[in-house]
Structure 1
Amino acid sequence: MELKVGLLGGGSWGTTVASLVSRNAPIKIWARDSETVSDINNDHRNSKYLPDIKLPPALTATSEIGEAVSGADVLVMGIPSSNFRAVLEEAKQYLRPWVPVISLTKGLELATGMRMTEVIEEVLPGHPVGVLTGPNLAREIMAGQAAASVISMEDEIIVKQLQQLFHSGLFRVYTNTDLLGCELGGVLKNIIAIAVGMGDGLGAGDNTRSALITRGLAEITRLGVAMGGKPETFAGLTGMGDMIATCTSPLSRNRHVGVELGKGRHIDEIIADMHMVAEGVKSAPTVIALARKYGVEMPIAEDVFEVTKGKRSAVRAFRGLVNQSAGAESDAG
C-alpha cells in the first residue's frame, strides 16, 4: 500500500525532506506563508529558503493544515521548536489515530525542557513517534550531493517500513532504535557549533577547531548517556557526523551565529538578520538546565549560553575555554 505523507513546515529542511519523499510517495507540504505555497505549486521553487533550486513537480503545497494532515498515513513535523507544540495542537483535530509522527526539529521546548518527540507523545498519545536526523545540510542534498541520515524510532518494525519512505537515491537512510540518543545528538551539537563558529570568527585555526569539536562531542556524550542514550549513538551519524557538518560548514546556521558573535556583533542583531532559525540559541538555556539536573559538566555549552545571553563577550568566553586547565582526556572538564 502506498503511504500518503503530510509534512508541516515550509522551511529549507522541510522542503528538502518533502522533495526526497515525493520520489517515493504522494506528499503534501503545509506552509503558513501563502507566497511560499504559491511558489511551490506554480513555479516549483521555494525562493524564500532555497533560492535557485528547482523542486520536483510531484511536490505540492497548501496553506490549509487540514488538507495536509487529514489524509496522511505519516505526518512529518518540520516546525521550529518555539512553534512546534502550537502547530501540533492545530493539526491534532485532523490527524487519524495511530498515524506515525516524525520530527525533523533539532531543538528543545524552552518552557518545559522537553524533546520534540516528548511533545508529540504528550499532545498525541498513542501515535508512534520518531526523528529523522543526521549530518544533513539542505542545500547540498538539493544539489544532488550524497548524504546519510538516520530514522530513529523505538519500534523496530515501523522504523524499517519508514526507512524506505525517506531513503532516496544518494540520500541514504539508516535505522536506529535509540530514539533519545539520536534526538539529543541533533539538539546538543548546535551549541557546540556556535562555540566553534565563535573561534572561527576570532581567527582561531584548524587545531583549535578540532579540539573544540572533540571536547564538545565528549560534553554532549556525557549528558546524553546520563539522560539514557547509548554511548555508541553519539559516535555515529546523529552525534559525531552531525557535529562535524554543523561545526565546519559555511551553510550551518548555528556556526554562522558563532562566527558573527566572534566578530563582536550582538546576538539580537545577528538573529534579526536571519530568516531561518538557529536552534542552538533557543536550546542553550534548556541544555544548561539539563546539565545541572543530571550533574554533568559542560564548560563549552556554559560559555555559549553566557555569550548568547549577553553576559560575556565571545573573546572572554573563548579565552576562558582555551586557558582551561587540562586533566586526563577521559575526565569531565
Structure 2
Amino acid sequence: MDKIAILGSGSWGTALGKLLAEKGNNVFIWGRNINVINDININKENSKYLKNIKLPENLNATSNIEEALKNTSIVILAVTSQSNRETLNKIKNFIDESTIIVNVSKGLEIGTNKRTSEIVQEILPNNKFVSLSGPSHAEEVAVNMPTTIVSASKSSEAMIRVQELFIKTSVRVYTNSDVTGVELAGAFKNIIALGIGIIDGLGFGDNTKAAMMTRGLVEIVRLSVELGADVSTFFGLAGMGDLIVTCTSPHSRNRRAGILIGKGYTLDEVKTEINMVVEGINATKIAYELSKKLEIDMPIVNEMYKVIFENREIKSAIANLMNRDKKHENEELINIKIV
C-alpha cells in the first residue's frame, strides 16, 4: 500500500484521509493547528472540522511537514487555493520527481489568476499533477454516502492511479484529460453558488435560482472555453455536478456567504461570520478581471462584482440583469468554440 501525505487538516483533507486509510494506506495529515493534530492522533477525531466522525488507527497527523512527506508516493494538496504556492515551496526539497501531486482545492490564485496545475508546473515541473474534483462534500464522503468525482491529468498513468487509489464501494471515480476545464469549473461554480445564496438571502424562490444556475453556467463556460477548456467538461461532474451540489447544499460555505450578503451583511462581516475561506468571493473578482481583459460578456459576474466590491444595491443589480436587451437563448452559445 502507498504512504500518502495530505497537506491540510480541514474537513476535506480529513475525510479523504479517512477514505484512504480505510483502504489500507498509511496516511499522514499535515497541519499547523496543534490542537487538531493532537485530536486526530489521540482521540482519532477532528472535532474542529469534521464532528462526530471516528477516524481509523492508521490515519495519523503531524505538524512536521518533513515527517509527513518522508517516503511519500502521493501528496494531496488540501489547503486553500491561495496557500498552494506557499505549500508547494515548502515541500519541493522533501519529495522526489516520482511523487504525484493531487490538488483537491477549487480556486485560482489571486494576483496571477493561475490554476494550481500552472503553479505546480512552475515549482515542481517534473512531477505529475492530478486535479481531483466534482460534487463531494466532506461531511457526506466521511460517512460513506455514494459520491462520484473525477480524476483529471495530462498523464494517463497518473489519473488512472489516482482513480484506483480513491475508488471504493461508496466513491466512483471517473477520469478526464481536460485539466484546464476541471480546474476552471471547480473555481467558477463558486461564483454561481454565491449568487444562489444571495437569492436565498433575499427570500426569492426556485424560479430565480434556476435562472441563476442556468445562465451562470453559460457565462462560466464562455469564459473557460476562451481560457482553453473543453466545453464538454462543464456538463460533467466537475462542471454541472459540482455546480448543483454547491448551489443547493447547506454544507456549501459559498452559498452560506451569499445568504448573508443577501441579508445585507458587509463583506467583512461575511468573512467574520463564515470564518473560513469563501472561494466564490475571490473567484468573482478573478472572473470579472478576466472578462474585462478578454472582452467576454458576463453580466451576472459583472453585477455580482459590483454588489460585493463596489456596494451596488442588490435590487439594482437584479434590475440591470432583468432589463438587458432581448436575446435569443442560443445565440450566445453558437460562438463558443469547441476545443
Query: What TM-score comes out, normalization by structure 1 length?
Result: 0.96
Deviations 1:282-314 (A, max 9, x none): 222212222223322111112222222143133
Question: Which residue is equivalent to 2:337?
Answer: none
Structure 1 distance, partners of 2:330, 2:13, is: 38
Pairing 1:303–2:303 present: yes
Q: Which runs of 5+ in 2 are unaligned?
A: 334-339
Segments ≥4 residues shifted beyond 6 Å: none
Structure 2 distance, partners of 1:294, 1:63, is: 42
Question: Which residue is equivalent to 1:252?
Answer: 252
2:200–2:259 contact (8 Å) kept in structure 1 = yes
User: What is the one-letter code of the residue matched to 2:7?
Assistant: L
Question: Which residue is equivalent to 1:49?
Answer: 49
User: What is the one-letter code of the residue matched to 1:170?
Assistant: S
Deviations 1:60-110 (A, max 9, x none): 111001111132101110111222111111111111223110111101110
Structure 2 distance, partners of 1:8, 1:327, is: 47
1:297–1:332 contact (8 Å) kept in structure 2 = no
Cα shift at 1:325: 3.5
SS at match of 2:47: coil
User: What is the one-letter code of the residue matched to 2:76?
Assistant: V
Structure 1 distance, partners of 2:39, 2:316, is: 45
Structure 1 distance, partners of 2:94, 2:198, is: 44
Cα shift at 1:51: 1.6
Cα shift at 1:278: 1.2
2:88–2:120 contact (8 Å) kept in structure 1 = yes
2:98–2:127 contact (8 Å) kept in structure 1 = yes
SS at match of 2:22: coil
Cα shift at 1:30: 0.3
Structure 2 distance, partners of 1:257, 1:121, is: 32
Deviations 1:95-143 (A, max 9, x none): 1223110111101110211011111111111111111000111112223
Describe how 1:270-281 pairs up with structure 2 within 5 A. 270-281=270-281
Describe how 1:228-247 pairs up with structure 2 within 5 A. 228-247=228-247
- Which one is further off, 4-13 or 301-310? 301-310
- Which one is further off, 278-287 or 302-311? 302-311
Describe how 1:70-149 pairs up with structure 2 within 5 A. 70-149=70-149
After superposition, the Cα gap between the structure-2 partners of 1:260 and 1:156, relative to the gap in structure 1 and judged at 3 Å, is: same
Structure 1 distance, partners of 2:182, 2:2, is: 25
Deviations 1:164-221 (A, max 9, x none): 1111221111111111001110000000111111111101111111111011111111
Question: Which residue is equivalent to 2:21?
Answer: 22
Q: Which runs of 5+ in 1 are unaligned?
A: none
Structure 1 distance, partners of 2:84, 2:191, is: 20
Structure 2 distance, partners of 1:322, 1:56, is: 52
Aligned-CA RMSD value: 1.5
Structure 1 distance, partners of 2:301, 2:43, is: 42
Q: How many residues align?
A: 332
Question: Which residue is equivalent to 1:328?
Answer: 328
Question: Which residue is equivalent to 2:203?
Answer: 203
Query: What TM-score comes out, normalization by structure 2 length?
Result: 0.94
Cα shift at 1:144: 2.3
Structure 2 distance, partners of 1:160, 1:118, is: 21
